[in-house]
Amino acid sequence: MEVVSEVASLVAWRGDQRGRRIGFVPTMGFLHAGHASLMDRLRPEVDLLVVSSYVNPLQFGQNEDLSRYPRDADGDERLCRAHRVDLLFRPDSLYPPGFSTAVTVHGSLTDRLEGEHRPGHFEGVATVVARLLALVGPTVAAFGEKDWQQLAVVRRVVVDLGLPVEILGCPLIRDADGLALSSRNKYLSPDDRRRALSLVTALRAVAAAFQQGERDADRLGGIGRAQLDVDRLDYLEVAAAADLAALDQVDRPARVLVAAVVGSTRLIDNLAIPWT
Ligand code: PAF
């Protein structure tokens, strides 16, 4: 496996790989089994597998956890080797001097849910993903469904900018107790972790109520919210799966999404509404 920390070295490497099928997993490092599942999903389909690890300052708000975002360079390298990654791109800086471009996705895809609670977040994500896709030039890139809204934003960017890459959404991975894997879980105390499980309990309660015939999106949301044991709830809502539009009645494929703070850690999770 090559480990590359300069943009110029990545571009030189990429120049030698013309005609080969390249798979790409963009990450912010502190890799876990969720990231590994993306690598394993792509590995059999591609000639070369590239992983990036870059904690992108553009997608963090002023009061967010950029400075304390967890890092583990050695662990990341070990995990990438174990999952047969060909190139790990780990730049110290990704943007050129004078960088002045932003990719903005407008509308309900970005101004609700995560977008409402983290202003500027999706612009930072769209900008870094567009730059990474331009540099890596993958045939296919994998993103986790844990960040369901991010995945929808990335798909929009790729269609709107006509980027020649297939975007593959991959299932969210949970620990045995049901907690969605996240680099931020490391901050949960044992008691926080127990309370954090109320997120998945809430999502499952909403899916079960839908299965029992409830179609009113507000009432479904209320059923989920009643299960939560958190310190701050940002949202728990049933939204259209494809474009995250708000729903009155659940009359199309939908997703229940939650964001909440437990202790000092903000967690997100989501689950498919069992549409038949
Ligand atoms: O999901 C993430 O880890 C990040 O948002 C991404 C896609 C790597 C962009 O920084």
The DSSP output letter for 246 is B
**Strand runs labelled E in the chain:** 2-4, 22-27, 48-53, 87-89, 140-144, 166-170, 232-240, 254-262, 265-272
Question: For atom 6 of ligand 1, which residue has the closest CA?
Answer: 27
CA angle 196, 115, 40 (to 5 degrees): 60
For residue 276, the model assigns a pLDDT of: 77
CA 25 to ligand 1 centroid distance, Å = 9
Q: Does domain 2-170 have CATH number 3.40.50.620?
A: yes
CB–CB of 13/87 below 8 Å?
yes
Looking at residue 45, the DSSP 8-state letter turns out to be G
CB-defined site of ligand 1, < 6 Å:
26-28, 56, 59, 125, 128-129, 147, 150
- Substitution site in 60, 71, 89, 125 for ligand 1 pocket (most atoms within 8 Å of beta carbon): 125
Task: With beta carbons less than 8 A apart as the criterion, state whether 58 and 46 touch.
Answer: no
Nearest CA residue ID for atom 2, ligand 1: 27
The ligand 1 atom nearest the CA atom of 26: 8
Strands, E assignment, 90-135: none
For the CA of 147, the closest atom of ligand 1 is 1
Among 66, 122, 147, which is best to mutate for testing ligand 1, by the most ligand atoms less than 8 A from CB?
A: 147
Expressed in angstroms and rounded, the spacing between residue 223 Cα and the centre of ligand 1 is 31
Cα(166) to ligand 1 centroid in Å equals 17
Look up the CATH number of domain 183-269: 3.30.1300.10
Q: Which atom of ligand 1 is nearest to the CA of 55?
A: 10
- State in Å: Cα 123 to ligand 1 middle: 12
Verify whether residue 35 is a known catalytic residue: yes
Same fold, 2-170 and 183-269: no
Q: Quick one: three-class SS letters along 169-206? A: EECCCECCCCCECCHHHHHCCHHHHHHHHHHHHHHHHH
Instruction: Determine the residue of 56, 90, 149, 151 to mutate for testing ligand 1's pocket, defined as the one with the most ligand atoms within 8 A of the Cβ atom.
Output: 56
HEC per residue, 51-83: EEECCCHHHCCCCCCCCCCCCCHHHHHHHHHHC
In this structure, which residue's CA is closest to atom 3 in ligand 1?
27
CB atoms within 10 A of CB 91: 17
Mean pLDDT (10-residue bins), the chain, 276 residues:
98 97 98 98 98 98 90 98 98 98 96 97 98 98 98 98 98 98 96 98 98 98 98 98 96 98 97 91
What are the domain boundaries of the chain? 2-170, 183-269
pLDDT number for residue 108: 86
Task: Indicate whether this model's pTM tops 0.95.
Answer: yes
Question: What pLDDT sits at residue 65?
Answer: 84
Distance 225 CA to ligand 1 centre (A): 27
Q: What is the pLDDT of residue 147?
A: 98
